[in-house]
Chain A
Amino acid sequence: MTTEKKKPILAINHLVKYFGEREILKDIDFEVGQGNVISVIGASGSGKSTMLRCINLLEMPTSGDIIFEGKNVLDTSNNIALYRTKVGMVFQSFNLFTNMTVLQNCMVSPVTVLKRSREEARQTAMKYLEKVGMAQYINARPDQLSGGQKQRVAIARALAIKPQILLFDEPTSALDPQMVGEVLEVMRELAEEGLTMIIVTHEMAFARDVSTRVIYMADGVIVEDGTPQEVFGSPKHERTKEFLARFTQNT
């Protein structure tokens, strides 16, 4: 591969996931370098979410290795909670804590998990809420916000624990079209600042313009893995071409 030869911070080796008898992920292999912005595209049901959830261990892989900072996170001795503070996740359905205000959502993990002082947690939370443009809304509760606002708070909440990698599972799919832009704009800024991200998305323009790498998945395997120019410009595989063609027709 001709992509940048930075030392990987995350390596997925031979990842396999079964749900019952069904093999959902088949021998997934890829590496994530510092500052990579990787878009994962593919048809519904191809296993994109499952892969992301395996990476942050919301699902336990059936076999394979996930190497983070040189250690296999699947070792039974590994502290999963601690690992998750380094690999954050943003969900399609936001999942803001409904019993807390916006600010509390962004402070709860720094205080209870990372044992930061309240003042420090508050400063950090405010910094990231500022960044996503939600600092004015610190006293609001999640059900009082629009979808786009919720997702921006969810991003601030994930950033407040200062993860090394941030995973996004279709962060804009649950949003009304006019709110998609505000969330993508935040993500674009994060990419420019060098945050390492893996983004499952159906926003092809965003994948093409913002990512350093694009992965196309089908039926639980990585079919294509390359720069946006390679994957969108001259896909090597027939299936990628079909998928992209269908996509451009539909949208």
Chain B
Amino acid sequence: MTADMPTTFFGWVVFIINQYGGALLQGAGVTLLLAIVGTLIGCAIGLFVGIVQTVPITERTNTGLKILNRAVQFVLAAYVEIFRGTPMIVQAMVVYYGSMAVFNIDMSAMLAGFLVVSVNTGAYMAETVRGGIISIDKGQTEAAMAIGMNHFQTMYTVVLPQALRNIMPQIGNNLIINIKDTSVLNVISVTELYFASKSAAGVYYRYFEVFFVTCVIYFIMTFAASRILRYFERRMAGSADYQLVGDPMADPSGIFPNGTKMGGK
């Protein structure tokens, strides 16, 4: 056996890629899946929580709604504080083993993983979205109301598109954090990249070489994610200049709100 074993660092790296490349890539796939799905669901949760947290309550709101609002705000605030205030690795243990012990649900590790990443991201995104919403100039909301929009229409057409544009960098940040932090899910045996690496390293006790390869894979994933997000940010910013329209009444060019048609020249 020793005869055909590599002797140098790079020899080992090549050997590991040959032997375990497939397994590591599969782990990377699981990591990406967890990170992307978790970030998307987390954003949806964050958007929902952030929107509910900024619902305006005025003197004209009726008392029943005011009480309901109080209760909902309390629950949401508790959610945000608890999930921001405890480590994801601990949340994974509690959710995975707790679901069995308390609710008698036999959850797969993968499902528990999705749940933990989503809910955790949601708690962070809720704060980000709330901040994004309240940072929009009050003049924008007043102008929307002054032309007859209700709160929902104002949010949907004016505030959220602007808030989302502003918080895009944080969404990207969350995706990158999730690509890295899903590694903690190895404690509940989710076969993501870290778990796959640990298994591979254990066979020949080549921890350095295996984790060197793992490191490169993580970096490629985060770097690609950051570049792709940068590209979307630029697209959302729209084109830097505009064309005067000679005969505007004849111009059939695309018109209508919310960025779907923004940008491009």
Contact = CB atoms under 8 A, between A and B. Distances in A.
A91 interface: yes
Contact residues of B: prevailing secondary structure:
loop
A214 interface: no
A130 to B, nearest CB: 8
B107 interface: no
Contacts of B251: 138
A111 B153 CA distance: 11
Interface string A82-98: 10110011010101111
Given A97-B144, A99-B258, A130-B248, 15 more contacts: A91-B139, A97-B143, A97-B157, A99-B158, A99-B165, A99-B259, A108-B147, A108-B157, A109-B148, A112-B149, A118-B255, A126-B248, A137-B244, A139-B245, A157-B147
Interface stretch (B29-37, B116-124, B211-219, B235-243): B235-243
A144 B241 contact: yes
Given A97-B158, A135-B248, A113 B140 contact: no
A140 interface: yes
Given A137-B244, A138-B245, A104 B255 contact: yes
A122 to B, nearest CB: 6
Nearest to B138: A95
A239 B51 CA distance: 49
B242 A139 contact: yes
A58 B56 CA distance: 13
Given A99-B158, A122-B255, A138-B251, A76 B60 contact: yes
Given A97-B144, A112-B157, A137-B242, A81 B139 contact: no
Interface of B: 58-60, 137, 139-140, 142-150, 153, 156-158, 161-162, 165, 238, 241-246, 248-249, 251, 253, 255-259
Contact of A95 (B59, B139, B165, B238): B139
Contact of B147 (A109, A135, A144): A109
Given A98-B162, A107-B256, A60 B147 contact: no
Interface in A96-136: 96-101, 103-104, 107-109, 111-114, 118, 122, 126, 129-130, 135-136
Contact of A135 (B145, B243, B245, B255): B245
A84 B143 CA distance: 11
Of all A-B residue pairs in the complex, the 7 with the closest CB atoms, nearest first, are A85-B148, A95-B143, A95-B139, A109-B147, A89-B146, A113-B148, A135-B248
B256 A138 contact: no
A112 to B, nearest CB: 5
A38 B224 CA distance: 60
B150 A97 contact: no
B142 A100 contact: no
Contact of A88 (B58, B147, B149): B147
Interface in A155-191: 157-158, 161
B150 to A, nearest CB: 5
Nearest to A125: B255
Nearest to A130: B248
